[in-house]
Amino acid sequence: MSTGMHPSRGALVPARTRSHSASALLRPVDRVAHVTMPATLNDVVAGIETAYPPRWADEGDDAIGLIVGEPESSVKRILFAVDPVSAVVEEAVAYDADLLVAHHPLLFRAVTSVAADRPKGRVIHELIRHGIGLYVAHTNADSPSRGVSESLAFALGLDRLRPLVAHPADPLEKVVTFVPRDDAQRVIDALSDAGAGSIGDYDRCAYLSDGRGTFKPNDRAQPAIGRPGEVQIVDETRVEMVLPRAHREAVLQALRSAHPYEEPAFDLLDLAAWDGERGAGRAGELAEAVTLRDFAHRVADTLPSTPAGAKVSGDLDRMVRRVAVVAGAGDFLLDEARHSGADVYVTSDLRHHPASEFREYDGAPALIDVPHWAAEWTWLPVAQQTLSESWLAQGWTITSELSRTCTDPWNYRAACCAR
Protein backbone atom coordinates (compact mmCIF):
# COMPACT_ATOMS: atom_id res chain seq x y z
CA MET A 1 0.00 0.00 0.00
CA SER A 2 1.38 3.41 -0.91
CA THR A 3 1.68 5.99 1.84
CA GLY A 4 1.60 8.87 -0.63
CA MET A 5 -0.48 11.85 0.46
CA HIS A 6 -0.71 13.90 -2.73
CA PRO A 7 -3.83 16.07 -2.89
CA SER A 8 -4.67 14.39 -6.18
CA ARG A 9 -4.59 10.89 -4.67
CA GLY A 10 -6.82 9.09 -2.20
CA ALA A 11 -5.68 10.29 1.22
CA LEU A 12 -4.44 7.74 3.73
CA VAL A 13 -4.34 8.42 7.44
CA PRO A 14 -3.23 6.60 10.58
CA ALA A 15 -5.72 4.86 12.79
CA ARG A 16 -5.63 5.74 16.48
CA THR A 17 -2.80 4.00 18.24
CA ARG A 18 -1.25 3.99 21.68
CA SER A 19 2.10 2.76 20.36
CA HIS A 20 2.68 5.58 17.86
CA SER A 21 3.76 2.96 15.33
CA ALA A 22 3.21 4.18 11.80
CA SER A 23 3.65 0.85 10.02
CA ALA A 24 0.33 -0.83 9.18
CA LEU A 25 -1.61 2.15 10.58
CA LEU A 26 -2.72 3.72 7.33
CA ARG A 27 -6.26 3.26 6.11
CA PRO A 28 -8.58 5.22 3.80
CA VAL A 29 -10.34 8.16 5.39
CA ASP A 30 -14.10 7.97 5.80
CA ARG A 31 -15.19 11.21 4.15
CA VAL A 32 -18.87 11.08 5.13
CA ALA A 33 -20.44 10.59 8.52
CA HIS A 34 -23.66 8.67 7.75
CA VAL A 35 -25.85 9.99 10.54
CA THR A 36 -28.99 12.04 10.89
CA MET A 37 -28.55 14.86 13.42
CA PRO A 38 -27.67 18.43 12.33
CA ALA A 39 -24.67 20.18 13.89
CA THR A 40 -24.24 23.88 14.60
CA LEU A 41 -21.01 25.78 14.12
CA ASN A 42 -20.77 25.96 17.92
CA ASP A 43 -20.97 22.15 18.06
CA VAL A 44 -18.22 21.70 15.48
CA VAL A 45 -15.96 24.26 17.16
CA ALA A 46 -16.36 22.44 20.47
CA GLY A 47 -15.31 19.20 18.76
CA ILE A 48 -12.25 20.79 17.15
CA GLU A 49 -11.20 22.35 20.45
CA THR A 50 -11.53 19.01 22.22
CA ALA A 51 -9.03 17.49 19.77
CA TYR A 52 -6.81 20.59 19.60
CA PRO A 53 -7.41 22.68 22.75
CA PRO A 54 -6.62 26.40 22.39
CA ARG A 55 -4.55 26.26 25.59
CA TRP A 56 -1.97 24.23 23.63
CA ALA A 57 -1.23 27.18 21.35
CA ASP A 58 2.08 29.01 21.71
CA GLU A 59 1.94 31.91 24.09
CA GLY A 60 1.56 35.22 22.31
CA ASP A 61 -0.60 36.39 19.47
CA ASP A 62 -1.41 33.17 17.64
CA ALA A 63 -4.67 34.03 15.91
CA ILE A 64 -6.54 30.75 16.34
CA GLY A 65 -10.18 29.87 16.89
CA LEU A 66 -13.36 30.90 15.14
CA ILE A 67 -12.49 33.84 12.87
CA VAL A 68 -15.63 34.12 10.73
CA GLY A 69 -19.05 32.58 11.21
CA GLU A 70 -22.42 32.65 12.95
CA PRO A 71 -22.13 30.28 15.94
CA GLU A 72 -25.70 28.96 15.65
CA SER A 73 -25.57 28.35 11.90
CA SER A 74 -25.89 24.81 10.56
CA VAL A 75 -22.78 22.94 9.38
CA LYS A 76 -23.14 20.10 6.88
CA ARG A 77 -20.04 20.41 4.69
CA ILE A 78 -16.47 21.21 5.80
CA LEU A 79 -13.34 21.87 3.72
CA PHE A 80 -9.89 21.37 5.28
CA ALA A 81 -6.96 23.46 3.99
CA VAL A 82 -3.56 24.77 5.01
CA ASP A 83 -3.95 28.40 3.93
CA PRO A 84 -7.14 30.51 4.02
CA VAL A 85 -6.33 32.37 0.78
CA SER A 86 -8.60 33.46 -2.05
CA ALA A 87 -8.00 30.36 -4.19
CA VAL A 88 -9.01 28.12 -1.27
CA VAL A 89 -12.11 30.23 -0.58
CA GLU A 90 -13.09 29.75 -4.24
CA GLU A 91 -12.69 26.01 -3.71
CA ALA A 92 -14.83 26.18 -0.58
CA VAL A 93 -17.54 28.06 -2.49
CA ALA A 94 -17.48 25.47 -5.28
CA TYR A 95 -17.74 22.68 -2.69
CA ASP A 96 -20.70 24.51 -1.06
CA ALA A 97 -18.88 24.35 2.28
CA ASP A 98 -20.38 25.74 5.46
CA LEU A 99 -17.00 25.86 7.21
CA LEU A 100 -13.36 26.14 6.20
CA VAL A 101 -10.94 24.63 8.73
CA ALA A 102 -7.47 26.04 8.09
CA HIS A 103 -4.09 25.53 9.70
CA HIS A 104 -2.53 28.91 9.01
CA PRO A 105 -4.08 32.04 10.55
CA LEU A 106 -5.77 34.59 8.34
CA LEU A 107 -5.21 37.48 10.76
CA PHE A 108 -1.80 36.50 12.11
CA ARG A 109 -0.84 40.16 12.46
CA ALA A 110 -3.12 43.00 13.47
CA VAL A 111 -4.97 44.76 10.69
CA THR A 112 -6.80 48.08 10.73
CA SER A 113 -9.02 47.40 7.73
CA VAL A 114 -10.84 44.48 6.16
CA ALA A 115 -11.83 46.39 3.04
CA ALA A 116 -12.52 44.09 0.11
CA ASP A 117 -9.73 45.66 -1.98
CA ARG A 118 -7.15 44.09 0.36
CA PRO A 119 -6.24 40.38 0.37
CA LYS A 120 -7.41 39.57 3.90
CA GLY A 121 -10.49 41.73 3.60
CA ARG A 122 -11.38 40.07 0.29
CA VAL A 123 -11.21 36.64 1.93
CA ILE A 124 -13.43 37.75 4.82
CA HIS A 125 -15.98 39.35 2.50
CA GLU A 126 -16.15 36.23 0.30
CA LEU A 127 -16.59 33.95 3.30
CA ILE A 128 -19.39 36.08 4.73
CA ARG A 129 -21.05 36.54 1.32
CA HIS A 130 -21.31 32.79 0.87
CA GLY A 131 -22.14 31.94 4.47
CA ILE A 132 -18.88 30.07 5.10
CA GLY A 133 -17.28 30.07 8.53
CA LEU A 134 -13.51 30.03 9.12
CA TYR A 135 -11.84 28.18 11.98
CA VAL A 136 -8.05 28.21 12.48
CA ALA A 137 -6.08 25.55 14.38
CA HIS A 138 -2.42 26.60 14.22
CA THR A 139 0.17 25.99 16.95
CA ASN A 140 -2.44 24.22 19.09
CA ALA A 141 -2.46 21.57 16.32
CA ASP A 142 1.33 21.36 15.98
CA SER A 143 2.28 19.47 19.13
CA PRO A 144 -0.31 16.78 20.00
CA SER A 145 -0.75 13.20 18.90
CA ARG A 146 -2.32 13.30 15.44
CA GLY A 147 -1.01 16.83 15.15
CA VAL A 148 0.89 18.43 12.30
CA SER A 149 4.41 17.13 12.93
CA GLU A 150 3.17 13.66 13.85
CA SER A 151 1.18 13.60 10.61
CA LEU A 152 4.34 14.29 8.62
CA ALA A 153 6.10 11.47 10.50
CA PHE A 154 3.21 9.10 9.71
CA ALA A 155 3.31 10.08 6.04
CA LEU A 156 7.04 9.31 5.82
CA GLY A 157 6.52 5.86 7.36
CA LEU A 158 8.23 6.46 10.71
CA ASP A 159 7.64 4.14 13.67
CA ARG A 160 8.37 4.41 17.41
CA LEU A 161 7.52 8.09 17.45
CA ARG A 162 8.34 10.46 20.27
CA PRO A 163 8.41 14.27 20.47
CA LEU A 164 11.69 15.80 19.42
CA VAL A 165 11.20 18.19 22.33
CA ALA A 166 8.56 16.96 24.78
CA HIS A 167 6.13 19.41 26.35
CA PRO A 168 5.06 19.02 29.97
CA ALA A 169 1.89 17.03 30.46
CA ASP A 170 -1.14 19.12 31.37
CA PRO A 171 -0.81 19.84 35.11
CA LEU A 172 -2.69 17.47 37.38
CA GLU A 173 -3.92 17.81 40.93
CA LYS A 174 -5.35 15.35 43.41
CA VAL A 175 -8.44 16.02 45.45
CA VAL A 176 -8.80 14.16 48.74
CA THR A 177 -12.04 14.27 50.69
CA PHE A 178 -13.71 12.38 53.54
CA VAL A 179 -17.27 11.14 53.08
CA PRO A 180 -19.72 9.07 55.16
CA ARG A 181 -19.35 5.54 53.81
CA ASP A 182 -22.88 5.27 52.48
CA ASP A 183 -22.39 8.46 50.40
CA ALA A 184 -18.96 7.70 48.94
CA GLN A 185 -20.09 6.25 45.60
CA ARG A 186 -22.49 9.12 44.96
CA VAL A 187 -19.75 11.69 45.61
CA ILE A 188 -17.34 9.78 43.34
CA ASP A 189 -19.95 9.89 40.56
CA ALA A 190 -20.32 13.66 40.96
CA LEU A 191 -16.55 14.28 40.93
CA SER A 192 -16.16 12.05 37.89
CA ASP A 193 -18.91 13.89 36.01
CA ALA A 194 -17.05 17.16 36.74
CA GLY A 195 -13.81 15.89 35.22
CA ALA A 196 -11.96 14.06 38.01
CA GLY A 197 -10.75 10.48 37.95
CA SER A 198 -9.69 10.10 34.29
CA ILE A 199 -6.42 8.21 33.80
CA GLY A 200 -5.58 7.26 30.22
CA ASP A 201 -8.42 5.15 28.83
CA TYR A 202 -10.05 4.73 32.26
CA ASP A 203 -12.67 6.94 33.90
CA ARG A 204 -14.04 7.25 37.43
CA CYS A 205 -10.70 6.17 38.95
CA ALA A 206 -10.56 6.65 42.72
CA TYR A 207 -8.71 5.27 45.73
CA LEU A 208 -10.81 4.51 48.80
CA SER A 209 -9.74 3.85 52.37
CA ASP A 210 -11.98 3.58 55.40
CA GLY A 211 -11.47 5.29 58.75
CA ARG A 212 -13.24 7.37 61.39
CA GLY A 213 -13.71 11.10 61.45
CA THR A 214 -14.68 13.34 64.36
CA PHE A 215 -16.07 16.86 64.66
CA LYS A 216 -18.23 19.03 66.91
CA PRO A 217 -20.75 21.43 65.31
CA ASN A 218 -21.04 24.84 66.95
CA ASP A 219 -24.32 26.52 67.82
CA ARG A 220 -24.72 28.10 64.37
CA ALA A 221 -24.16 24.87 62.42
CA GLN A 222 -26.82 22.80 60.70
CA PRO A 223 -25.05 19.43 60.61
CA ALA A 224 -26.15 16.56 58.36
CA ILE A 225 -25.09 14.18 61.14
CA GLY A 226 -25.36 14.84 64.88
CA ARG A 227 -26.41 17.91 66.85
CA PRO A 228 -24.76 21.26 67.67
CA GLY A 229 -22.46 21.13 70.69
CA GLU A 230 -22.02 17.34 70.59
CA VAL A 231 -18.87 15.51 69.51
CA GLN A 232 -19.54 13.16 66.58
CA ILE A 233 -17.54 10.14 65.48
CA VAL A 234 -18.48 8.95 61.99
CA ASP A 235 -17.39 6.00 59.86
CA GLU A 236 -15.99 7.71 56.76
CA THR A 237 -14.33 6.82 53.47
CA ARG A 238 -11.29 8.74 52.29
CA VAL A 239 -11.71 9.40 48.53
CA GLU A 240 -8.73 10.35 46.35
CA MET A 241 -9.08 11.32 42.69
CA VAL A 242 -6.81 13.05 40.17
CA LEU A 243 -8.04 15.93 38.04
CA PRO A 244 -6.69 18.31 35.39
CA ARG A 245 -5.92 21.67 36.94
CA ALA A 246 -8.18 23.26 34.34
CA HIS A 247 -11.15 21.39 35.91
CA ARG A 248 -10.41 22.47 39.49
CA GLU A 249 -13.33 24.86 39.95
CA ALA A 250 -15.87 22.48 38.42
CA VAL A 251 -14.66 19.57 40.58
CA LEU A 252 -14.71 21.60 43.80
CA GLN A 253 -18.18 22.88 42.99
CA ALA A 254 -19.34 19.29 42.41
CA LEU A 255 -17.72 18.24 45.68
CA ARG A 256 -19.52 20.89 47.68
CA SER A 257 -22.84 20.15 45.95
CA ALA A 258 -22.72 16.35 46.32
CA HIS A 259 -21.12 16.04 49.75
CA PRO A 260 -23.68 15.55 52.52
CA TYR A 261 -21.74 17.67 55.02
CA GLU A 262 -22.45 21.36 55.43
CA GLU A 263 -18.67 22.02 55.47
CA PRO A 264 -16.89 19.18 53.64
CA ALA A 265 -13.20 18.77 54.40
CA PHE A 266 -10.86 18.28 51.45
CA ASP A 267 -7.21 18.57 50.43
CA LEU A 268 -6.04 19.73 47.02
CA LEU A 269 -2.52 18.58 46.13
CA ASP A 270 -0.27 19.56 43.22
CA LEU A 271 1.22 16.54 41.48
CA ALA A 272 4.76 16.43 40.11
CA ALA A 273 5.24 17.51 36.49
CA TRP A 274 6.44 15.10 33.81
CA ASP A 275 6.80 15.01 30.04
CA GLY A 276 3.60 14.33 28.14
CA GLU A 277 2.87 12.89 24.70
CA ARG A 278 2.75 16.35 23.14
CA GLY A 279 5.80 18.19 21.94
CA ALA A 280 7.59 19.99 19.12
CA GLY A 281 8.47 17.85 16.12
CA ARG A 282 8.81 14.09 16.12
CA ALA A 283 11.67 11.61 16.08
CA GLY A 284 11.22 8.07 14.79
CA GLU A 285 12.69 5.25 12.77
CA LEU A 286 12.31 3.78 9.32
CA ALA A 287 11.58 0.07 9.07
CA GLU A 288 14.99 -0.38 7.47
CA ALA A 289 17.96 1.85 6.65
CA VAL A 290 18.16 3.45 3.20
CA THR A 291 20.58 5.85 1.56
CA LEU A 292 20.00 9.56 1.97
CA ARG A 293 19.48 9.74 -1.80
CA ASP A 294 16.70 7.13 -1.71
CA PHE A 295 15.09 8.65 1.38
CA ALA A 296 15.10 12.12 -0.19
CA HIS A 297 13.26 10.74 -3.23
CA ARG A 298 10.79 8.99 -0.89
CA VAL A 299 10.12 12.31 0.84
CA ALA A 300 9.61 14.11 -2.47
CA ASP A 301 7.33 11.35 -3.80
CA THR A 302 5.26 11.22 -0.60
CA LEU A 303 4.54 14.91 -0.17
CA PRO A 304 2.20 16.87 -2.44
CA SER A 305 3.93 17.99 -5.61
CA THR A 306 5.39 21.50 -5.67
CA PRO A 307 7.82 23.23 -8.04
CA ALA A 308 10.38 23.68 -5.26
CA GLY A 309 10.73 19.95 -4.49
CA ALA A 310 13.07 18.85 -1.70
CA LYS A 311 16.54 20.30 -1.07
CA VAL A 312 19.16 17.99 0.45
CA SER A 313 22.37 18.66 2.38
CA GLY A 314 24.61 15.69 3.17
CA ASP A 315 26.40 12.66 1.78
CA LEU A 316 23.85 11.10 -0.59
CA ASP A 317 25.30 7.62 0.02
CA ARG A 318 24.97 7.95 3.79
CA MET A 319 22.66 5.36 5.35
CA VAL A 320 19.74 6.83 7.31
CA ARG A 321 17.25 5.17 9.62
CA ARG A 322 16.64 7.52 12.55
CA VAL A 323 14.67 10.56 11.34
CA ALA A 324 13.67 13.83 13.02
CA VAL A 325 10.90 15.95 11.52
CA VAL A 326 9.25 19.29 12.14
CA ALA A 327 6.38 20.24 9.87
CA GLY A 328 6.66 23.92 9.05
CA ALA A 329 9.59 26.23 9.77
CA GLY A 330 12.01 24.18 11.86
CA ASP A 331 15.38 25.86 12.15
CA PHE A 332 14.55 26.79 15.76
CA LEU A 333 15.09 23.10 16.58
CA LEU A 334 18.34 22.52 14.72
CA ASP A 335 20.29 21.97 17.96
CA GLU A 336 17.69 19.54 19.27
CA ALA A 337 17.76 17.62 15.99
CA ARG A 338 21.56 17.44 16.16
CA HIS A 339 21.49 16.02 19.69
CA SER A 340 18.60 13.62 19.03
CA GLY A 341 20.66 10.88 17.40
CA ALA A 342 18.84 11.38 14.09
CA ASP A 343 20.57 10.56 10.81
CA VAL A 344 18.51 13.14 8.91
CA TYR A 345 16.35 16.13 9.83
CA VAL A 346 13.33 16.89 7.62
CA THR A 347 11.77 20.34 7.95
CA SER A 348 11.08 23.58 6.04
CA ASP A 349 12.30 27.14 5.64
CA LEU A 350 15.90 26.54 6.71
CA ARG A 351 17.98 29.72 6.46
CA HIS A 352 21.38 29.74 4.84
CA HIS A 353 23.60 30.60 7.81
CA PRO A 354 22.03 28.29 10.43
CA ALA A 355 22.00 25.40 7.94
CA SER A 356 25.60 26.06 6.89
CA GLU A 357 26.82 26.16 10.48
CA PHE A 358 24.82 23.03 11.31
CA ARG A 359 26.58 21.05 8.58
CA GLU A 360 29.98 21.93 10.08
CA TYR A 361 29.39 19.87 13.24
CA ASP A 362 30.96 16.43 13.29
CA GLY A 363 28.32 13.75 12.94
CA ALA A 364 25.52 16.23 12.30
CA PRO A 365 22.39 14.79 10.65
CA ALA A 366 21.79 15.37 6.99
CA LEU A 367 19.18 17.99 6.13
CA ILE A 368 16.14 17.78 3.86
CA ASP A 369 14.31 21.07 3.37
CA VAL A 370 10.80 20.63 1.96
CA PRO A 371 8.12 23.20 1.06
CA HIS A 372 6.27 24.46 4.12
CA TRP A 373 2.82 23.96 2.62
CA ALA A 374 3.54 20.42 1.45
CA ALA A 375 4.79 19.25 4.85
CA GLU A 376 1.81 20.68 6.69
CA TRP A 377 -0.72 19.40 4.13
CA THR A 378 -0.10 15.92 5.57
CA TRP A 379 -2.09 17.00 8.65
CA LEU A 380 -5.31 17.57 6.70
CA PRO A 381 -6.35 13.91 6.23
CA VAL A 382 -5.34 13.12 9.82
CA ALA A 383 -7.40 16.02 11.18
CA GLN A 384 -10.30 14.98 8.94
CA GLN A 385 -10.15 11.42 10.29
CA THR A 386 -9.83 12.56 13.91
CA LEU A 387 -12.78 14.94 13.71
CA SER A 388 -14.89 12.51 11.67
CA GLU A 389 -14.68 10.08 14.57
CA SER A 390 -16.06 12.82 16.83
CA TRP A 391 -18.87 13.65 14.39
CA LEU A 392 -19.90 10.01 14.17
CA ALA A 393 -19.91 9.69 17.96
CA GLN A 394 -22.15 12.77 18.24
CA GLY A 395 -24.46 11.60 15.45
CA TRP A 396 -23.91 14.66 13.26
CA THR A 397 -24.59 14.78 9.52
CA ILE A 398 -21.31 16.18 8.16
CA THR A 399 -19.51 15.64 4.87
CA SER A 400 -15.90 16.79 4.57
CA GLU A 401 -13.25 17.17 1.89
CA LEU A 402 -9.58 18.15 1.64
CA SER A 403 -8.47 21.18 -0.35
CA ARG A 404 -6.78 20.18 -3.62
CA THR A 405 -5.34 23.65 -4.22
CA CYS A 406 -1.57 24.04 -3.91
CA THR A 407 -1.04 27.25 -1.94
CA ASP A 408 2.74 27.11 -1.80
CA PRO A 409 3.75 30.69 -2.74
CA TRP A 410 6.52 29.52 -5.11
CA ASN A 411 5.13 28.31 -8.43
CA TYR A 412 8.26 27.93 -10.57
CA ARG A 413 11.87 26.92 -10.07
CA ALA A 414 14.50 27.96 -12.61
CA ALA A 415 17.53 25.70 -12.34
CA CYS A 416 20.93 27.40 -12.19
CA CYS A 417 23.17 26.46 -15.11
CA ALA A 418 26.91 26.89 -15.65
CA ARG A 419 27.66 29.50 -18.27
For each of the domains in the chain, give its residue range(s) and CATH number, in order of start. 12-141+377-402 (3.40.1390.30), 148-167+281-373 (3.40.1390.30), 170-273 (3.30.70.120)
Per-residue pLDDT of the chain (419 residues), as tens digits, is 334 445 544 444 443 333 343 433 344 444 444 445 789 999 999 999 999 999 999 887 689 999 999 999 999 999 999 999 999 999 999 999 999 999 999 988 878 888 898 999 999 999 999 999 999 999 999 999 999 999 999 999 999 999 999 998 889 999 999 999 999 999 999 999 999 999 988 999 999 999 999 999 999 999 999 999 999 999 999 999 999 999 999 999 999 999 999 999 999 999 998 888 899 999 999 999 999 999 999 999 999 999 989 999 999 999 999 999 999 999 999 999 999 999 999 999 999 999 999 999 999 999 999 999 999 999 999 999 999 999 998 889 899 999 999 999 998 988 776 55
Q: In this structure, which amino acid lies at residue 148? A: V
Q: Which of 364, 366, 187 is nearest to 260 (CA)?
A: 187
The C-alpha R_g of the chain, in whole angstroms, comes to 26
> Measuring CA to CA, how many Å separate 342 from each of 324, 378, 398?
6, 21, 41
Give me the pLDDT at residue 9, please. Answer: 42
Q: What is the pLDDT of residue 262?
A: 93
What does the alpha-carbon distance between residue 177 and residue 188 come to, in Å, rounded to a whole number? Answer: 10
Q: Return the exposure string of 387-418: e unless at least 16 CB atoms fall within 10 Å of the residue's CB, then b.
A: bbbbbeebebbbbbbbbebbbbeeeeeeeeee
pLDDT of residue 222: 92
* The predicted structure's pLDDT at residue 415: 75
CA distance between the termini of the chain: 44
